[in-house]
Amino acid sequence: MEDEALLERILGGDHDAFRDLVERYQMSLVRLARYYVKSEASAEDVAQDTWIAVMQGLERFEGRSSFKTWLFRIAANRARKTGTREYRVVTVDPVDPVSSARFNEGGMWNEAPVPFTELINDKLANAGVLEACRNAIRDLPEPQQSVVTLRDVEGLSTREVSDLLELSEANTRVLLHRGRAKIRETLEETLTGGRSWQ
Amino acid sequence: MAMTRDITCHQAVALVSDYLEGALARRDRRRLERHLADCGACSAYLDQMRATIALSGSVGPEDLSNEAVARLVDVFEKYHRENSGESPN
Ligand SMILES: [Zn+2]
């Protein structure tokens, strides 16, 4: 069921609809809050406060943005008030997404990469690949992890991500690039079974 | 190998993520597209990046404990009871 349909039912006091919405977004809210606050426990508090704010504000929600964007914005604002972390001053170095060792002196590939698409579509490999991808995202340092999660896992726009995380759009793109490059590297190891080129 | 390439593979891969974001300046986009048109290796890299992004999109949120859900539903019921004057459902 779409978020908007659930919201209608929630306004009528339907707690099953509320449960569905919580199951859909709670982990994402905790994850987002974790960007600003120091502990898992305070992130969970922020998420709970966010749900209370949602209940209080739901009647006034006009649907000018998607519910998800509205929800994430509430959580980010609350987390920011609670939190003490500062990522805004991150310095952004030039990105070298692939190890220089993979290229010859003329900047050409020593050994061509293998396309993933067909490898991923192989059903036998699929479960392991998804797990590898999840772990690779979880292993990313902040703020890369939050950027990749919001952009590629949650599917928000780069603009929305940069607003939620208080990063410039340019920085957001560089961090996204770096995070994606690391995940790609992990998947390459998982899918092609090693680093024959090294 | 064609000598018309004005960027190397090493330079091309640095542009791929921004290319997929639609965030490259037109000049860089043209350079990259020209490179991709006659470089199978970088085209394979582009496929890897696309597949990586698609896979991240199917990771989904982590599992949530029933306990955590139940606690939040309690908060909801309490809130609704206090604010509507009638019991939910
Ligand atoms: Zn190339």
Please tell me if residue A51 touches chain B, with a CB cutoff of 8 Å: yes
Q: Report the residue from A15, A130, A184 with minimal CB separation from B73.
A: A15
* pLDDT at position B86 over 70: no
Both B45 and B20 in a single domain?
A: yes
Write the CA distances from B47 to A96, A166, B30, B73, integer angstroms.
Answer: 18, 31, 18, 43
Both B17 and B35 in a single domain?
A: yes
Both B47 and B70 in a single domain?
A: no
- If one compares B49 and A65, the residue with the highest pLDDT of the two is B49
Please tell me if residue B3 touches chain A, with a CB cutoff of 8 Å: no
Rounded-to-integer distance, Cα A136 and Cα B50, Å: 16
**What is the pLDDT tens value at each position of chain A, 198 positions in all?**
899 899 989 888 888 999 999 999 999 999 999 999 988 899 999 999 999 999 888 888 888 889 999 999 999 999 999 877 655 556 666 667 888 899 999 999 999 999 998 888 776 667 788 889 999 999 999 999 999 999 999 999 999 999 999 999 999 999 999 999 999 999 999 888 755 444
Ligand 1 (single-atom ion) residues, CB below 5 Å: B 9, 12, 39, 42
Both B33 and B71 in a single domain?
A: no
Most confident of A95-109, A181-195, B15-29, B48-62: B15-29
Both B52 and B65 in a single domain?
A: no
Is the bond leading into A97 cis (omega within 30 degrees of zero)?
Answer: no
Ranges of H-type helices in A150-197: 158-165, 169-192
Both B14 and B48 in a single domain?
A: yes
Domains: count for chain B: 2
Backbone angles phi, psi at A142, to 5 degrees: -75, 150
Domain with B66, as residue range(s), is: 59-89
Q: Which of A98, A121, A186 to mutate to test the interface with B (most CBs of B within 10 A)?
A: A98
**C-alpha A156 to ligand 1 mean position (Å):** 30
Q: Would the CB atoms of A116 and B64 count as touching at under 8 Å? A: no
Domain ranges of chain A: 3-83, 97-191
Closest alpha carbon to A183 in B10, B31, B54: B54
Q: What is the CATH number of domain A3-83?
A: 1.10.1740.10
**C-alpha A84 to ligand 1 mean position (Å):** 44
- What's the CATH architecture for A97-191? Orthogonal Bundle (1.10)
Both B53 and B64 in a single domain?
A: no
Both B14 and B49 in a single domain?
A: yes
ipTM value of the model? 0.86
- If one compares B43 and B73, the residue with the highest pLDDT of the two is B43
Both B46 and B16 in a single domain?
A: yes
Residue of B nearest to A181 (CA): B49
Q: Would the CB atoms of B52 and A116 count as touching at under 8 Å? A: yes
Give the pTM. 0.86
Q: Report the residue from B16, B56, B73 with minimal CB separation from A183.
A: B56
Residue A198's pLDDT is what?
A: 41
Both B6 and B38 in a single domain?
A: yes
Both B51 and B10 in a single domain?
A: yes
Q: Would the CB atoms of B68 and A176 count as touching at under 8 Å? A: no
Both B87 and B67 in a single domain?
A: yes
